[in-house]
Structure 1
Amino acid sequence: MKQVPTSSPRRPTGPVAPATLADVARGAGVSKTTASDALRGHGRVSDATRRAVLDAAVRLGYTPNRSARTLRTSVTDTIALHIPEFLTSAEYYMSFVFGVAEQAARAGLNVTLVSSGRLPQADGLILCDPMPDNPVVDQLMSAGRPVVTAERYGGEGQPAGVVWSDHETALTELLEHLRARGARRPAFIASDTTADWALTLQRTYAHWCAGRDVRPLLRKAPFGSSPEVLRGVVGQLLAENPEADAIVCAADGAAAAVLPEIRSAGRVVGEDLLLASCVDSPAMRTAEPPITAIDLKPRRMGAECVRLLCEILAGQARRGTARTLAIDMIVRASTGS
């Protein structure tokens, strides 16, 4: 008998249809809504469920169709970030931007930087240290998109959410630390800006001095001043007030920048003059001596702003939500530790 050769059934040779969100949901054993929330980093999804959905998406080769989703829901999966251009060289703001970018990536969002009042397509905005006299900030605040601010906004419009730090408590703790180290005439080099944190620091210093019968030694420098300008301010302060036994600098990097001027005045940091900063940075940690500073946690601040904006967009946090980011004083040798 002639044997009939056996063969396997033929498989379709056409292109394989791409995996859909429904495929991912079935693969993870969850609903489409849960799968969507897990992939975008939204919603109240447990870590175990999120991992199951992500594993299913990778296994199935799922790629979200952003264009189709945008047409259906008017969602761009993009958030806009505004930082005034003259601030972008500061260490704090660069760390803040990285925090925003990292958290946005986890949520499946793109980030676009905004340098003018013209808003690109975006679901919401994050404004870092918004100043009420900045016309670009005014335009963005009234653009009709949910806005989350890093630090409070002193203008007329109200953001949808704010993440802020208690600078009053932190500076008071720092001034009390200097007093415990023997300082009786601390000076404060303020930033000449209308940002809420800067005004809060000035008010706190004045209040602290009034409460301890200390005559204030307050000097202002333009925000973003060059090291030469800062040194000039400190040099003049020490020449006119030789009794000053401590200096607190508000701006990022200022305390390290003025070290040469302090030495030129014949003062020894950590001994007859204490030095501290309201903003910690690598420059404070690597200075000689290392400088006591307040750690504002800028990377975490950026991430928390994105997290709050996502929750507001998803309806999980009410508009007007304000959250506090804890900040810490780091004591180093510049204050005689």
Structure 2
Amino acid sequence: MPTARNPRTPPRPGSPATLADVARAAGVSTTTASDALRGHGRVSEPTRRTVLDAARRLDYAPNRSARSLRTSVTGTIGLHVPEFPTNAEYYMSFVFGVAEQAAHAGLDVTLLSSGRLPRVDGLVLCDPVAEDPVVDRLMDAGLPVVTAERYVGDRQPAGVLWSDHETSMTGLLDHLRAKGARRPAFLACDITFDWALTLQDTYARWCAEHGVPRLQHAAPLGAPPPVLRAAVGELLAGAPETDALVCAADGAAAAVLPEIRAAGRVVGEDLLLASCVDSQAMRTAEPPITAIDLKPRQMGVECARLLGEILSGEAPHGTTRTLPVETVFRASTDRASTERAATLS
């Protein structure tokens, strides 16, 4: 007579975990495990957490073929990113993160444009712009939507992944002040999504709290380098007392370096320079540029993970999660380091 499996015995190596494996690991029936994973039935919260923990430990993925027969799902999620800056490093990394997690969960990804909405189970919207007709149509499609950053329109997504940009921007401005900057300027993005608006509001508040004038210019997100350089040239000409510059857009800080030098300014000495988005361009600039690492690939991973959990019932509608970000301090805001480099050369 065969020996019964221990309730805590994991699945055989190389075999995908089944619902029965999850139930055994959690010490519950398969019906209870199924209800807990789908958010259905009368399952207590401690039991639900135990089942979810077991599913994560076993890397359990629902049987998509069987589930499709029951619920007519497609096994595909839709992804929308702003169209104008799709060549930006942030958005490319974000897309790869979504694709990575979707593949791990056995889901396909369809990149959405302004055309017809294909059959998908749910949507990930990156930086949804308020009053954008495409975003409005996607939000009204009757599908679960997870947004990367909060949506500032009047519709409520099923889930939100966001980062505390107010704290990171405040910390960056405080860093510049600690390094001696007293007239920081801000090259903002002329766009209406949460990240851009939060940066502008934080800069205005910080200036008011420190009794310094706002020196802000705005450029369209995805603007080519000549447009960015022209904005910075105008800013420096109109406010020669500027001793620090923070650039919002991905790649903008590196793009305006020639204009700063043309104005006779030296980055890291009489002008500190920082970026609200880290990228390869910030790391390889001369000097390297202080930047906020928004962790775009991880943001994509977590958005796809949250959408998958909402679709399976593991996470309730209305779930909001936070992705920590960090500032990477480099020579462009460290006068001491640039002085040492000049001495060595």
Asked if these proteins are the same fold (TM beyond 0.5), I'd say yes
TM class, shorter-length: 0.7 to 0.9
Question: Structure 1 runs of 4+ off > 4 angstroms?
Answer: 21-35
CA distance in 2, matches of 1:92, 1:135: 23
State yes or no: 1:46 paired with 2:54.
Answer: yes
Structure 2 unaligned regions, length at least 5: 1-14, 38-50, 338-345
Q: Deviations over 1:76-102 (max 9, x none)?
A: 111110112212100000000011011
Question: Is the contact between residue 125 and residue 146 of structure 2 (CA under 8 Å) also seen in structure 1?
Answer: yes
Quote the offset at 1:119 in angstroms. 2.0
Q: Structure 1 residues 45, 273: CA separation in 2 closer, same or farther (over 3 Å shift)?
A: same
Change (3 A) 1:107 1:242: same
Q: Is contact 2:93-2:297 (8 Å) kept?
A: yes
CA distance in 2, matches of 1:202, 1:49: 42
Q: Following TM superposition, by how much is the alpha carbon of 1:49 offset from its aligned partner in structure 2, in angstroms?
A: 5.8
Paired AA for residue 254 in structure 2? A
Show the counterpart of 1:13: none
The one of 118, 121, 130 equivalent to 2:119 is: 121
Gap change, CA 1:277 and 1:26, over 3 Å in 2: closer
Structure 2 Cα separation of the partners of residues 121 and 328 of structure 1? 37
Please tell me the residue identity of whatever aligns with 2:139: M
- With over 3 angstroms needed to count, the CA separation of the structure-2 counterparts of 1:183 and 1:107, relative to structure 1, is same
For 1:27 and 1:328, locate their aligned partners in 2 and report how far apart those are by CA, in whole Å.
39
* Structure having the higher Rg: 1
Q: CA deviation at 1:155?
A: 0.8
Give me the TM-score of the superposition, normalised by structure 1. Answer: 0.83
**Greater shift in the superposed pair: 323-332 or 24-33:** 24-33
Deviates more, 1:111-120 or 1:146-155: 111-120
After superposition, what is the alpha-carbon deviation per residue over 1:182-226, rounded to whole angstroms, capped at 9, x for unaligned? 000000000000011101111110110011110110000011100
1:314 equivalent in structure 2 = 312
Q: Which runs of structure 2 are paired with 1:101-180 in the superposition (5 Å)?
A: 101-116=99-114, 118-180=116-178
After TM superposition, the score normalised by the length of structure 2 is 0.81
The separation in 2 between residues aligned to 1:323 and 1:185, in whole angstroms, is: 35
CA deviation after TM superposition for structure 1 residue 70, in Å = 2.4
Q: CA deviation at 1:234?
A: 0.6
Mind listing any 5+ residue stretches in structure 1 that lack a counterpart? Answer: 1-20, 55-63
Q: CA deviation at 1:118?
A: 2.9
CA displacement at 1:120 relative to structure 2: 1.3
Cα pair 1:117 1:137 within 8 Å, conserved: no
Alignment map for 1:15-34 (pairs within 5 Å) = none
User: Judging changes above 3 Å, is the alpha-carbon distance between structure 1 residues 122 and 202 closer, same or farther for their aligned structure 2 residues?
Assistant: same
What are the Cα deviations for residues 271-325 of structure 1, in whole angstroms up to 9, with x where unaligned? 0000000000111001000000000000110111111111211222221111111
Question: 1:84-140: CA deviations, max 9, x gaps?
Answer: 221210000000001101111111111111102632111110000000121000000
In structure 2, C-alpha distance between the alignment counterparts of 1:65 and 1:154, rounded to whole Å: 34
1:269 is paired with a residue of what secondary structure? coil
The Cα shift of 1:69 comes to 4.4
Distance 1:229 1:243 in 2: 22
One-letter amino acid of the structure 2 residue matched with residue 244 of structure 1? T
Could you say which residue in structure 1 is the equivalent of 2:261? 263
Distance 1:24 1:183, change over 3 A: closer
Determine helix, strand or coil for the equivalent of 1:80.
strand
Opposite residue 173 of structure 2, the aligned amino acid is L
CA positional deviation for 1:27 = 9.2
Name the residue aligned to 1:193: 191
Contact 2:243 / 2:272 at 8 angstroms: preserved in 1? yes
C-alpha contact 2:98 2:304 (8 A) present in aligned 1: yes
Tell me the secondary structure at the aligned position of residue 85 of structure 1.
Answer: coil
Q: Which amino acid aligns with 2:225?
A: P
1:42-88 residue CA offsets vs partner (Å, 9 max, x unmatched): x725379626x79xxxxxxxxx674x642332121111101122121
Please provide the CA RMSD for this pair: 2.8
Instruction: Tell me the percent identity.
Output: 67
Distance 2:135 2:257 in 1: 35
User: 1 CA distance for matches of 2:21 and 2:178?
Assistant: 62
Mapped to 1, the partners of 2:143 and 2:56 lie a distance apart of: 33
Matched, 1:227 2:235: no
Is this contact kept in 2: 1:81–1:126, CA < 8 A? yes
